[in-house]
Amino acid sequence: MLCGGGRSSGGPYVLTGTIGQPDAAWSSGGNYELLGGFWPGGPLCIVSFDDFARFAQLWRLEETGLAADLDGSGEVDFADLKDFADLWLKCCPVGWTLK
């Protein structure tokens, strides 16, 4: 491949790409996420204190569509807190609503 591109492979996976593309975005499907752009790449998002502050503002509220209602139950409760804790300091899942 010309123009700074290349191919990487490991196991059953193969990735072909080039650098300097005009639209470095991200893609996802299932349990996989591909970040584009230069290192560290893409819209890096780590679940952190800012997310917890937003979560705390919505604690114990009951309403449809709340960003902190991580399990979709219609209320922000201990089940959501457990889900949040499981994500602590990890990369944000696709569609992370607390940013």
Q: What is the pLDDT of residues 6-56, one digit of tens each?
A: 677 888 887 776 666 555 566 777 877 766 655 444 456 789 999 999 999
Q: What is the pLDDT of residues 61-93, one digit of tens each?
A: 999 889 999 999 999 999 999 999 999 988 888
- pTM reported for the whole predicted model: 0.58
SS3 86: helix
Residue type, 83: D
Task: Encode 3-65 in three state secondary structure.
Answer: CCCEEEEECCEEEEECCCCCCCCEEEECCEEEECCCCCCCCCCECCHHHHHHHHHCCCCECCC
- On whether the CB atoms of residues 78 and 62 are closer than 8 A, the answer is no
